[in-house]
A = this chain, B = another copy of it.
């Protein structure tokens, strides 16, 4: 097994950052031909998702949709004021499992892998494992 940590700098309060290039590099270097790449986000106001990457409007719409779905002005108890960000983190989830075939990520035609920033901008960390299953 190979493992490590990536750095993901984010630029806005809330945004989806395309990390497909970064994790493809990790996979290529691992020289793993078949198995799984697992990502784990160690932050509680961020998440991970896979969605369309061709039209950048989709990632903006996902953020806009989440801001409509999660009440932003509810009388939350957590005093830091970022409870909506914690809720979005749980809605997206903190881990992804992606198949590896012939040292390539198995993604659909339109799929890209996104780090979801819900309380930025910050410099985030992302843990990964590449598992070999011949």
Contacts and interface: CB of A to CB of B under 8 A. Distances in A.
Interface residues of A, number: 61
A108 to B, nearest CB: 3
A51 interface: yes
A83 B58 contact: yes
Interface stretch (A6-14, A22-30, A36-44): A36-44
Contacts of A98: 40, 95
Interface string A91-116: 11111111101000011111100000
Contacts of A99: 3, 38, 40, 127, 129
A130 B8 CA distance: 29
B127 A106 contact: yes
A87 B114 CA distance: 13
Nearest to A60: B77
